[in-house]
Structure 1
Amino acid sequence: MTEHAIIMRAVNKYYGAYHALVDIDLTVTRGERIVICGPSGSGKSTLIRTINQLEPIESGTIIVDGVELTAGGENVAQVRQD
């Protein structure tokens, strides 16, 4: 186990021409609690859905519990099971 639960680096997500997530960098340490807040349409749900791999990203890196999820998706089931 790593000390970081979630690491996002330069994550970008588009819906057509709409750039929903722009170069997101986020690190959440194990045991840390965070709040994601903002107005409607600001990308809160999209951010969470990309971490859960329910939405694909166009670029960047997402690592959960030391496992990179953006490396073709083969590690998603492993992380979800853990």
Structure 2
Amino acid sequence: MNWKVRLRNPVFWVQIVVSAFAAVLAYAGLTAADLTTWESVGALLCNAVRNPYCLFLVLSSVWNAVNDPTTTGLTDSERARQYTIPQK
């Protein structure tokens, strides 16, 4: 995979954070509107880290955000591996 380009792309990071946070919210049966204080966000994240099943859900969501389903195996396409910046 072309990690240099992915790690410098802010959209990649938003995708990772949103997919992980959505998995935690879904497991807890909450919506973003239920989180009205930073303490409740912290408690939610601490509980998620302590729960192996919730961690599995987070890892599955992150995997889906990272993996390119248009290629075989775990790599990017040959063209994508040649990028030095994200292509439009």
With the length of structure 1 as denominator, give the TM-score of the two structures: 0.33
Which one has a bigger Cα radius of gyration?
Answer: 2
| TM-score, length of structure 2 as denominator length | 0.32
Bigger relative contact order (CA 8 A; separation at least 6): 2
Higher helix share: 2
